[in-house]
Amino acid sequence: MRTVHALRGAVAALAAFLIVGCAPEQDGWRLTNITGLMPELTFTLTDHTGEAATGEDFRGGPVLMYFGYTHCPDVCPTTLATVRSALGQLNNEASQVTVLFVTVDPERDTRGALSRYVNAFGPQFVGLRGKPSQLKDLTRRYRVVYNRDKPDADGDYLVAHSSALFVFDREGRPRLVARPDDDAEAIASDLSRLLADT
Amino acid sequence: MPILEPIRFLSPYDFYPTVLAVTLLVGILFGRGQGAARRAGEPVGWWRGLSFWLGLGLTYTVLQTQLDYLAQHMFWVHRGQHLVLHHLGPILMVLALPHTVMARAVPGRLLDGWLRPLWHHPAVQIPYRLIQHPVVAPLLFVGIIYFWLIPSVHFAAMLSVPYYNAMNWSVLVEGLLFWWLILDPRSPTNGGLGFGVRMIMVWGVMPPQILLGAYIGLSKEVLFEVYDICGRAWPLPPLVDQQLGGLLTWIPASMMSVIAALIVLRMWLRHSDTGPAAQTGTG
Protein backbone atom coordinates (compact mmCIF):
# COMPACT_ATOMS: atom_id res chain seq x y z
CA MET A 1 0.00 0.00 0.00
CA ARG A 2 2.76 2.40 0.93
CA THR A 3 4.39 1.79 -2.39
CA VAL A 4 1.16 2.56 -4.22
CA HIS A 5 0.84 5.84 -2.30
CA ALA A 6 4.44 6.76 -3.02
CA LEU A 7 3.88 5.93 -6.67
CA ARG A 8 0.76 8.10 -6.87
CA GLY A 9 2.54 10.97 -5.15
CA ALA A 10 5.49 10.72 -7.48
CA VAL A 11 3.28 10.61 -10.58
CA ALA A 12 1.35 13.67 -9.38
CA ALA A 13 4.57 15.56 -8.66
CA LEU A 14 5.97 14.64 -12.07
CA ALA A 15 2.76 15.68 -13.84
CA ALA A 16 2.77 19.05 -12.05
CA PHE A 17 6.41 19.50 -13.01
CA LEU A 18 5.67 18.71 -16.65
CA ILE A 19 2.65 21.00 -16.87
CA VAL A 20 4.37 24.03 -15.33
CA GLY A 21 7.27 23.64 -17.71
CA CYS A 22 9.59 26.52 -18.49
CA ALA A 23 8.56 27.67 -21.96
CA PRO A 24 7.21 31.21 -22.34
CA GLU A 25 3.50 31.64 -22.88
CA GLN A 26 2.16 32.80 -26.23
CA ASP A 27 0.28 35.63 -24.45
CA GLY A 28 -1.72 36.44 -27.55
CA TRP A 29 1.22 37.08 -29.85
CA ARG A 30 0.72 35.86 -33.41
CA LEU A 31 4.41 35.08 -33.93
CA THR A 32 6.33 32.73 -31.64
CA ASN A 33 7.07 34.33 -28.28
CA ILE A 34 10.73 34.01 -27.26
CA THR A 35 10.74 36.68 -24.53
CA GLY A 36 13.48 36.03 -21.99
CA LEU A 37 15.12 33.21 -23.92
CA MET A 38 17.89 34.99 -25.80
CA PRO A 39 20.41 37.75 -25.06
CA GLU A 40 19.83 41.33 -26.20
CA LEU A 41 20.91 42.55 -29.61
CA THR A 42 24.66 43.11 -29.72
CA PHE A 43 27.05 42.93 -32.67
CA THR A 44 29.85 44.74 -34.43
CA LEU A 45 29.40 44.79 -38.22
CA THR A 46 29.53 47.20 -41.15
CA ASP A 47 26.36 48.52 -42.78
CA HIS A 48 25.64 48.84 -46.52
CA THR A 49 26.86 52.44 -46.56
CA GLY A 50 30.24 51.34 -45.23
CA GLU A 51 29.68 52.74 -41.73
CA ALA A 52 30.49 50.69 -38.62
CA ALA A 53 27.30 49.48 -36.97
CA THR A 54 26.63 47.97 -33.55
CA GLY A 55 23.52 46.44 -32.03
CA GLU A 56 23.20 49.37 -29.66
CA ASP A 57 22.80 51.77 -32.63
CA PHE A 58 19.35 50.32 -33.24
CA ARG A 59 17.76 50.84 -29.83
CA GLY A 60 14.65 53.03 -29.69
CA GLY A 61 12.37 51.20 -32.08
CA PRO A 62 11.46 47.62 -32.92
CA VAL A 63 14.11 45.79 -34.96
CA LEU A 64 13.67 42.82 -37.26
CA MET A 65 16.75 40.75 -38.03
CA TYR A 66 17.12 38.22 -40.78
CA PHE A 67 20.11 36.20 -41.99
CA GLY A 68 20.34 35.72 -45.75
CA TYR A 69 22.29 36.60 -48.91
CA THR A 70 21.54 38.50 -52.07
CA HIS A 71 22.02 35.52 -54.41
CA CYS A 72 19.39 33.61 -52.42
CA PRO A 73 16.93 32.28 -55.01
CA ASP A 74 13.74 32.01 -52.98
CA VAL A 75 13.36 32.32 -49.24
CA CYS A 76 15.23 35.62 -48.69
CA PRO A 77 13.39 37.73 -51.26
CA THR A 78 10.08 36.17 -50.18
CA THR A 79 10.71 36.90 -46.51
CA LEU A 80 11.87 40.47 -47.17
CA ALA A 81 8.86 41.08 -49.42
CA THR A 82 6.58 39.80 -46.64
CA VAL A 83 8.28 42.19 -44.21
CA ARG A 84 7.88 45.10 -46.64
CA SER A 85 4.22 44.28 -46.97
CA ALA A 86 3.87 44.10 -43.16
CA LEU A 87 5.50 47.53 -42.84
CA GLY A 88 3.08 48.83 -45.45
CA GLN A 89 0.19 47.81 -43.19
CA LEU A 90 1.61 49.85 -40.30
CA ASN A 91 1.15 53.24 -42.01
CA ASN A 92 3.29 56.06 -40.59
CA GLU A 93 4.46 54.02 -37.58
CA ALA A 94 6.53 51.91 -39.95
CA SER A 95 9.30 54.53 -39.96
CA GLN A 96 10.15 53.55 -36.37
CA VAL A 97 10.93 49.97 -37.42
CA THR A 98 14.36 48.86 -38.69
CA VAL A 99 14.93 45.71 -40.70
CA LEU A 100 18.45 44.28 -40.45
CA PHE A 101 19.50 42.01 -43.29
CA VAL A 102 22.71 40.25 -42.22
CA THR A 103 24.51 38.62 -45.12
CA VAL A 104 25.86 35.11 -44.61
CA ASP A 105 27.77 35.44 -47.90
CA PRO A 106 29.97 38.53 -47.37
CA GLU A 107 32.32 37.35 -50.12
CA ARG A 108 29.80 37.95 -52.93
CA ASP A 109 27.69 40.48 -51.03
CA THR A 110 30.01 43.44 -51.40
CA ARG A 111 28.93 46.79 -50.03
CA GLY A 112 27.57 47.78 -53.45
CA ALA A 113 25.61 44.57 -53.99
CA LEU A 114 24.16 44.71 -50.49
CA SER A 115 23.29 48.37 -50.88
CA ARG A 116 21.39 47.83 -54.16
CA TYR A 117 19.57 44.86 -52.62
CA VAL A 118 18.31 46.48 -49.43
CA ASN A 119 17.47 49.79 -51.13
CA ALA A 120 15.10 47.88 -53.38
CA PHE A 121 13.04 46.94 -50.33
CA GLY A 122 12.80 50.31 -48.65
CA PRO A 123 14.39 52.93 -46.42
CA GLN A 124 13.99 50.91 -43.20
CA PHE A 125 16.10 48.07 -44.58
CA VAL A 126 19.74 48.00 -43.48
CA GLY A 127 22.26 45.59 -44.97
CA LEU A 128 24.98 44.32 -42.64
CA ARG A 129 28.18 42.47 -43.42
CA GLY A 130 31.24 41.57 -41.41
CA LYS A 131 34.37 39.53 -41.10
CA PRO A 132 33.76 35.78 -40.65
CA SER A 133 34.55 36.04 -36.94
CA GLN A 134 32.09 38.91 -36.45
CA LEU A 135 29.40 37.02 -38.32
CA LYS A 136 30.13 33.84 -36.32
CA ASP A 137 29.75 35.74 -33.04
CA LEU A 138 26.33 36.96 -34.08
CA THR A 139 25.06 33.65 -35.47
CA ARG A 140 26.28 31.78 -32.38
CA ARG A 141 24.55 34.35 -30.16
CA TYR A 142 21.21 33.70 -31.86
CA ARG A 143 21.89 30.01 -32.43
CA VAL A 144 21.42 30.17 -36.19
CA VAL A 145 23.17 28.16 -38.86
CA TYR A 146 24.57 29.00 -42.26
CA ASN A 147 26.51 26.68 -44.53
CA ARG A 148 28.05 27.33 -47.89
CA ASP A 149 27.39 24.55 -50.41
CA LYS A 150 29.99 23.41 -52.93
CA PRO A 151 30.23 25.71 -55.97
CA ASP A 152 28.92 24.41 -59.32
CA ALA A 153 30.83 24.48 -62.65
CA ASP A 154 30.20 28.23 -63.00
CA GLY A 155 31.42 28.93 -59.47
CA ASP A 156 27.89 29.67 -58.26
CA TYR A 157 26.93 28.30 -54.91
CA LEU A 158 24.02 28.26 -52.51
CA VAL A 159 24.24 29.10 -48.82
CA ALA A 160 21.94 27.14 -46.55
CA HIS A 161 20.79 29.37 -43.72
CA SER A 162 18.22 29.68 -40.94
CA SER A 163 14.75 30.90 -41.82
CA ALA A 164 14.27 32.76 -38.55
CA LEU A 165 13.12 36.39 -38.57
CA PHE A 166 13.92 37.73 -35.10
CA VAL A 167 11.90 40.59 -33.64
CA PHE A 168 13.50 42.82 -30.99
CA ASP A 169 11.77 45.45 -28.89
CA ARG A 170 12.91 49.08 -28.39
CA GLU A 171 15.44 48.00 -25.75
CA GLY A 172 16.95 45.40 -28.07
CA ARG A 173 15.45 42.44 -26.23
CA PRO A 174 14.49 39.49 -28.44
CA ARG A 175 10.73 39.08 -28.15
CA LEU A 176 9.42 37.10 -31.10
CA VAL A 177 10.50 34.92 -33.95
CA ALA A 178 8.62 34.64 -37.24
CA ARG A 179 8.74 31.52 -39.37
CA PRO A 180 8.42 31.34 -43.15
CA ASP A 181 4.72 30.46 -42.92
CA ASP A 182 3.88 33.53 -40.81
CA ASP A 183 2.19 36.07 -43.09
CA ALA A 184 2.57 39.85 -43.33
CA GLU A 185 -0.60 40.44 -41.35
CA ALA A 186 0.70 38.47 -38.35
CA ILE A 187 4.00 40.37 -38.45
CA ALA A 188 2.21 43.73 -38.74
CA SER A 189 -0.17 42.90 -35.91
CA ASP A 190 2.64 41.98 -33.51
CA LEU A 191 4.77 44.93 -34.58
CA SER A 192 1.98 47.39 -33.83
CA ARG A 193 1.56 45.77 -30.43
CA LEU A 194 5.31 46.18 -29.79
CA LEU A 195 5.11 49.83 -30.98
CA ALA A 196 2.24 50.47 -28.56
CA ASP A 197 4.40 49.27 -25.63
CA THR A 198 6.09 52.20 -24.02
CA MET B 1 45.88 21.56 -42.51
CA PRO B 2 44.82 18.01 -41.60
CA ILE B 3 46.79 18.20 -38.34
CA LEU B 4 44.73 21.18 -37.22
CA GLU B 5 41.42 19.43 -37.84
CA PRO B 6 41.29 17.39 -34.59
CA ILE B 7 42.35 20.46 -32.63
CA ARG B 8 39.64 22.52 -34.27
CA PHE B 9 37.12 19.78 -33.56
CA LEU B 10 38.09 19.49 -29.90
CA SER B 11 38.02 23.23 -29.31
CA PRO B 12 34.84 24.40 -27.59
CA TYR B 13 31.99 25.71 -29.75
CA ASP B 14 30.31 27.49 -26.85
CA PHE B 15 32.77 27.70 -23.98
CA TYR B 16 31.17 26.66 -20.69
CA PRO B 17 33.59 27.34 -17.79
CA THR B 18 31.57 25.07 -15.46
CA VAL B 19 32.00 22.06 -17.75
CA LEU B 20 35.75 22.60 -17.95
CA ALA B 21 36.13 23.25 -14.21
CA VAL B 22 34.08 20.21 -13.14
CA THR B 23 35.83 17.93 -15.65
CA LEU B 24 39.25 19.12 -14.50
CA LEU B 25 38.38 18.77 -10.82
CA VAL B 26 36.94 15.27 -11.24
CA GLY B 27 39.77 14.21 -13.56
CA ILE B 28 42.52 15.52 -11.27
CA LEU B 29 40.95 13.91 -8.19
CA PHE B 30 40.60 10.57 -9.95
CA GLY B 31 44.10 10.71 -11.43
CA ARG B 32 45.67 11.58 -8.09
CA GLY B 33 43.53 8.93 -6.40
CA GLN B 34 44.84 6.35 -8.87
CA GLY B 35 48.41 7.39 -7.96
CA ALA B 36 47.70 7.23 -4.24
CA ALA B 37 46.12 3.79 -4.61
CA ARG B 38 49.16 2.51 -6.50
CA ARG B 39 51.53 3.81 -3.82
CA ALA B 40 49.37 2.19 -1.15
CA GLY B 41 49.78 -1.13 -2.94
CA GLU B 42 46.08 -1.32 -3.87
CA PRO B 43 46.14 -0.20 -7.50
CA VAL B 44 42.90 0.55 -9.29
CA GLY B 45 42.22 -2.21 -11.82
CA TRP B 46 43.01 -1.25 -15.42
CA TRP B 47 39.44 -1.78 -16.61
CA ARG B 48 38.13 0.51 -13.87
CA GLY B 49 40.54 3.23 -14.92
CA LEU B 50 39.62 2.72 -18.58
CA SER B 51 35.91 2.77 -17.83
CA PHE B 52 36.17 5.99 -15.85
CA TRP B 53 38.37 7.90 -18.30
CA LEU B 54 36.27 6.77 -21.24
CA GLY B 55 33.08 7.87 -19.49
CA LEU B 56 34.52 11.23 -18.46
CA GLY B 57 36.11 11.78 -21.88
CA LEU B 58 32.89 11.01 -23.75
CA THR B 59 30.88 13.26 -21.47
CA TYR B 60 33.30 16.15 -21.94
CA THR B 61 33.42 15.58 -25.70
CA VAL B 62 29.67 15.80 -26.20
CA LEU B 63 29.40 18.87 -23.98
CA GLN B 64 32.32 21.03 -24.94
CA THR B 65 33.57 20.31 -28.48
CA GLN B 66 32.20 21.05 -31.95
CA LEU B 67 29.83 18.12 -31.33
CA ASP B 68 27.94 20.59 -29.16
CA TYR B 69 27.38 22.75 -32.24
CA LEU B 70 25.98 19.76 -34.12
CA ALA B 71 23.84 18.82 -31.11
CA GLN B 72 22.35 22.32 -31.10
CA HIS B 73 21.47 22.15 -34.77
CA MET B 74 20.56 18.55 -35.50
CA PHE B 75 17.91 16.69 -33.55
CA TRP B 76 19.43 13.24 -33.92
CA VAL B 77 22.88 14.47 -32.81
CA HIS B 78 21.16 16.02 -29.80
CA ARG B 79 19.60 12.63 -29.00
CA GLY B 80 23.03 11.01 -29.36
CA GLN B 81 24.45 13.63 -27.00
CA HIS B 82 21.82 12.73 -24.44
CA LEU B 83 22.45 9.03 -24.91
CA VAL B 84 26.00 9.73 -23.72
CA LEU B 85 24.94 12.17 -20.97
CA HIS B 86 22.09 10.10 -19.56
CA HIS B 87 23.24 6.55 -20.23
CA LEU B 88 26.68 5.71 -21.57
CA GLY B 89 28.84 8.31 -19.77
CA PRO B 90 27.28 7.81 -16.31
CA ILE B 91 27.30 4.00 -16.65
CA LEU B 92 31.00 3.96 -17.57
CA MET B 93 31.92 6.37 -14.78
CA VAL B 94 29.79 4.68 -12.11
CA LEU B 95 31.19 1.22 -12.92
CA ALA B 96 34.65 2.49 -11.91
CA LEU B 97 33.38 3.32 -8.37
CA PRO B 98 35.03 6.73 -8.77
CA HIS B 99 34.21 7.96 -5.24
CA THR B 100 36.46 5.31 -3.68
CA VAL B 101 39.35 6.41 -5.91
CA MET B 102 38.73 10.14 -5.59
CA ALA B 103 38.47 9.93 -1.79
CA ARG B 104 42.16 8.96 -1.71
CA ALA B 105 43.08 12.25 -3.35
CA VAL B 106 41.16 14.37 -0.86
CA PRO B 107 43.13 15.48 2.24
CA GLY B 108 42.03 13.46 5.28
CA ARG B 109 41.07 16.53 7.28
CA LEU B 110 38.77 17.77 4.52
CA LEU B 111 37.30 14.30 3.97
CA ASP B 112 36.67 13.40 7.60
CA GLY B 113 36.11 16.89 8.95
CA TRP B 114 33.80 18.22 6.23
CA LEU B 115 32.79 15.95 3.39
CA ARG B 116 31.72 12.86 5.38
CA PRO B 117 29.70 14.82 8.01
CA LEU B 118 28.14 16.83 5.16
CA TRP B 119 27.19 13.66 3.31
CA HIS B 120 25.60 12.14 6.44
CA HIS B 121 23.78 15.35 7.35
CA PRO B 122 19.97 15.04 7.17
CA ALA B 123 19.79 18.04 4.84
CA VAL B 124 21.64 15.94 2.28
CA GLN B 125 20.45 12.47 3.21
CA ILE B 126 16.70 13.17 3.25
CA PRO B 127 16.47 14.59 -0.29
CA TYR B 128 18.98 12.00 -1.50
CA ARG B 129 16.92 9.11 -0.08
CA LEU B 130 13.78 10.61 -1.59
CA ILE B 131 15.12 10.92 -5.14
CA GLN B 132 16.83 7.54 -4.82
CA HIS B 133 13.67 5.81 -3.64
CA PRO B 134 13.14 2.73 -5.84
CA VAL B 135 9.80 4.10 -7.04
CA VAL B 136 10.85 7.74 -7.45
CA ALA B 137 14.23 7.13 -9.14
CA PRO B 138 12.90 5.42 -12.31
CA LEU B 139 10.15 8.03 -12.61
CA LEU B 140 12.72 10.81 -12.41
CA PHE B 141 15.02 9.03 -14.84
CA VAL B 142 12.31 8.67 -17.47
CA GLY B 143 10.48 11.89 -16.52
CA ILE B 144 13.52 14.02 -17.26
CA ILE B 145 13.74 12.59 -20.79
CA TYR B 146 10.06 13.27 -21.40
CA PHE B 147 10.23 16.72 -19.85
CA TRP B 148 12.98 18.07 -22.11
CA LEU B 149 11.24 16.56 -25.15
CA ILE B 150 7.95 18.39 -24.59
CA PRO B 151 8.01 20.42 -27.83
CA SER B 152 7.58 23.85 -26.17
CA VAL B 153 10.17 23.04 -23.50
CA HIS B 154 12.55 21.67 -26.10
CA PHE B 155 12.10 24.84 -28.14
CA ALA B 156 13.03 27.01 -25.14
CA ALA B 157 15.99 24.82 -24.19
CA MET B 158 17.41 25.00 -27.71
CA LEU B 159 17.22 28.82 -27.87
CA SER B 160 18.23 29.77 -24.34
CA VAL B 161 21.77 29.11 -23.15
CA PRO B 162 20.79 28.87 -19.44
CA TYR B 163 17.97 26.40 -20.21
CA TYR B 164 20.25 24.46 -22.52
CA ASN B 165 22.83 24.10 -19.76
CA ALA B 166 20.14 23.21 -17.23
CA MET B 167 18.93 20.49 -19.61
CA ASN B 168 22.36 18.94 -20.14
CA TRP B 169 23.39 19.11 -16.48
CA SER B 170 20.10 17.75 -15.18
CA VAL B 171 20.25 14.83 -17.60
CA LEU B 172 23.87 14.03 -16.64
CA VAL B 173 23.30 14.28 -12.86
CA GLU B 174 20.11 12.24 -13.04
CA GLY B 175 21.94 9.62 -15.11
CA LEU B 176 24.73 9.37 -12.53
CA LEU B 177 22.22 9.03 -9.67
CA PHE B 178 20.09 6.41 -11.38
CA TRP B 179 22.90 4.22 -12.66
CA TRP B 180 24.69 4.40 -9.32
CA LEU B 181 21.55 3.03 -7.67
CA ILE B 182 21.42 0.21 -10.20
CA LEU B 183 25.12 -0.62 -10.40
CA ASP B 184 26.10 -0.06 -6.73
CA PRO B 185 28.28 -3.12 -5.98
CA ARG B 186 27.21 -3.28 -2.32
CA SER B 187 24.89 -6.14 -1.44
CA PRO B 188 21.53 -5.36 0.20
CA THR B 189 23.03 -6.28 3.58
CA ASN B 190 25.70 -3.58 3.11
CA GLY B 191 23.45 -0.71 2.14
CA GLY B 192 22.84 -1.52 -1.53
CA LEU B 193 19.41 -1.93 -3.04
CA GLY B 194 17.95 -5.44 -3.36
CA PHE B 195 19.00 -7.02 -6.66
CA GLY B 196 15.44 -8.02 -7.53
CA VAL B 197 14.29 -4.41 -7.10
CA ARG B 198 17.14 -3.22 -9.30
CA MET B 199 16.05 -5.67 -12.00
CA ILE B 200 12.50 -4.33 -11.89
CA MET B 201 13.77 -0.73 -12.06
CA VAL B 202 16.13 -1.31 -14.94
CA TRP B 203 13.48 -3.13 -16.95
CA GLY B 204 10.82 -0.65 -15.85
CA VAL B 205 12.54 2.32 -17.48
CA MET B 206 12.68 0.51 -20.84
CA PRO B 207 9.05 0.57 -22.05
CA PRO B 208 8.55 4.33 -21.54
CA GLN B 209 11.74 5.04 -23.50
CA ILE B 210 10.70 2.65 -26.27
CA LEU B 211 7.29 4.29 -26.37
CA LEU B 212 8.74 7.80 -26.58
CA GLY B 213 11.38 6.85 -29.14
CA ALA B 214 8.80 5.06 -31.27
CA TYR B 215 6.37 7.98 -31.02
CA ILE B 216 9.02 10.45 -32.18
CA GLY B 217 10.54 8.14 -34.76
CA LEU B 218 7.23 7.16 -36.34
CA SER B 219 5.59 10.58 -36.19
CA LYS B 220 4.47 11.86 -39.58
CA GLU B 221 4.82 15.52 -38.64
CA VAL B 222 7.76 17.58 -37.42
CA LEU B 223 7.49 17.79 -33.63
CA PHE B 224 10.53 19.96 -32.93
CA GLU B 225 10.38 23.00 -35.18
CA VAL B 226 13.30 24.79 -33.56
CA TYR B 227 15.68 23.00 -35.96
CA ASP B 228 13.67 24.29 -38.92
CA ILE B 229 13.78 27.85 -37.59
CA CYS B 230 17.45 28.02 -36.64
CA GLY B 231 18.63 25.78 -39.44
CA ARG B 232 20.15 22.30 -39.48
CA ALA B 233 23.89 21.73 -39.35
CA TRP B 234 23.69 20.20 -42.82
CA PRO B 235 20.75 19.72 -45.18
CA LEU B 236 18.82 16.70 -43.94
CA PRO B 237 15.08 16.31 -44.45
CA PRO B 238 13.40 17.26 -41.13
CA LEU B 239 11.50 13.98 -40.85
CA VAL B 240 14.65 11.93 -41.46
CA ASP B 241 16.38 13.87 -38.70
CA GLN B 242 13.43 13.19 -36.42
CA GLN B 243 13.29 9.50 -37.31
CA LEU B 244 16.99 9.06 -36.54
CA GLY B 245 16.52 10.92 -33.25
CA GLY B 246 13.55 8.72 -32.37
CA LEU B 247 15.53 5.57 -33.12
CA LEU B 248 18.39 6.78 -30.89
CA THR B 249 15.92 7.40 -28.06
CA TRP B 250 14.38 3.99 -28.63
CA ILE B 251 16.96 1.31 -29.40
CA PRO B 252 20.41 2.16 -27.94
CA ALA B 253 18.76 3.60 -24.80
CA SER B 254 16.95 0.29 -24.28
CA MET B 255 20.14 -1.63 -24.98
CA MET B 256 21.72 0.17 -22.02
CA SER B 257 19.03 -1.32 -19.78
CA VAL B 258 19.80 -4.79 -21.12
CA ILE B 259 23.52 -4.35 -20.46
CA ALA B 260 22.87 -2.97 -16.97
CA ALA B 261 20.51 -5.89 -16.26
CA LEU B 262 23.28 -8.35 -17.16
CA ILE B 263 25.69 -6.59 -14.81
CA VAL B 264 23.11 -6.65 -12.01
CA LEU B 265 22.48 -10.35 -12.66
CA ARG B 266 26.18 -11.06 -12.35
CA MET B 267 26.38 -9.15 -9.06
CA TRP B 268 23.30 -10.94 -7.82
CA LEU B 269 24.78 -14.37 -8.52
CA ARG B 270 28.05 -13.37 -6.89
CA HIS B 271 26.53 -11.97 -3.74
CA SER B 272 24.10 -14.75 -2.97
CA ASP B 273 25.26 -18.15 -1.84
CA THR B 274 21.94 -19.74 -2.52
CA GLY B 275 21.18 -18.23 -5.90
CA PRO B 276 18.77 -15.49 -7.00
CA ALA B 277 15.67 -17.49 -6.10
CA ALA B 278 16.42 -17.13 -2.39
CA GLN B 279 16.80 -13.36 -2.62
CA THR B 280 13.43 -11.77 -2.91
CA GLY B 281 14.08 -9.07 -0.32
CA THR B 282 13.47 -5.43 -1.16
CA GLY B 283 16.58 -4.03 0.51
pLDDT band at residue A6, thresholds of 50, 70 and 90? Answer: low
pLDDT band at residue B193, thresholds of 50, 70 and 90? Answer: very high
Q: A-chain residues within 8 Å CB-CB of B158?
A: 143
Q: Rounded mean pLDDT of A28-48?
A: 94
Is B231 in Cβ contact with A145 (below 8 Å)?
Answer: yes
CA distance A87 to chain B (A): 22
- Residue B156: name the closest of B164, B144, B146 by CA: B164
* pLDDT at residue A68, as a whole number: 94
CB interface of A with B, residues 138-157, below 8 Å = 140, 142-147
Q: Are the CB atoms for A190 and A30 separated by under 8 Å?
A: yes
Q: A-chain residues within 8 Å CB-CB of B133?
A: 6
> Does this complex have an ipTM over 0.90?
no
Residue of chain A whose Cα is closest to the Cα of B162: A37
Lowest mean pLDDT among A38-47, A84-93, B53-62, B69-78: A84-93
CA distance A187 to chain B (A): 16
Q: Taking 60 as the threshold, does the pLDDT of residue B152 lie above it?
A: yes
* pLDDT at residue B189, as a whole number: 87
Share of chain B above pLDDT 70, in %: 95
Residue among B133, B139, B153 whose CB faces A21 most closely: B153
- Chain A within 8 Å of B41 (Cβ-Cβ)? no
Torsion of CA B158, B164, B169, B174, to 10 degrees: -40
**Tens-place pLDDT, residues A60-69:** 999 999 999 9
- Chain A within 8 Å of B221 (Cβ-Cβ)? no
**Tens-place pLDDT, residues B252-267:** 999 999 999 999 999 9
Q: Taking 90 as the threshold, does the pLDDT of residue B9 lie above it?
A: no
B64 CB contacts (<8 Å, ≥6 apart)? Answer: B12, B15, B16, B19, B20, B23
> String of b and e for B200-218 (b: at least 16 CB within 10 Å)?
ebbebbbebbbebbeebbe
Q: Taking 80 as the threshold, does the pLDDT of residue B248 lie above it?
A: yes
Q: Rounded mean pLDDT of B128-150?
A: 96
CA distance A29 to chain B (A): 15
Residue A111, φ and ψ in degrees, nearest 5? -55, -45
The alpha helices in chain B, defined as continuous H runs, are 4-10, 17-39, 46-64, 66-73, 75-83, 89-95, 98-102, 108-110, 116-120, 122-131, 136-148, 151-159, 161-183, 195-204, 206-218, 226-230, 238-271
CA distance A92 to chain B (A): 30
Q: Rounded mean pLDDT of A73-100?
A: 92
* pLDDT at residue B10, as a whole number: 86
Q: What is the DSSP pairing of strand A159-161 with strand A146-148? A: antiparallel
Q: A-chain residues within 8 Å CB-CB of B234?
A: 147, 160
pLDDT band at residue A1, thresholds of 50, 70 and 90? Answer: very low
Q: Are the CB atoms for B250 and B214 separated by under 8 Å?
A: yes
**Tens-place pLDDT, residues B41-92:** 999 999 999 999 999 999 999 999 999 999 999 999 999 999 999 999 999 9
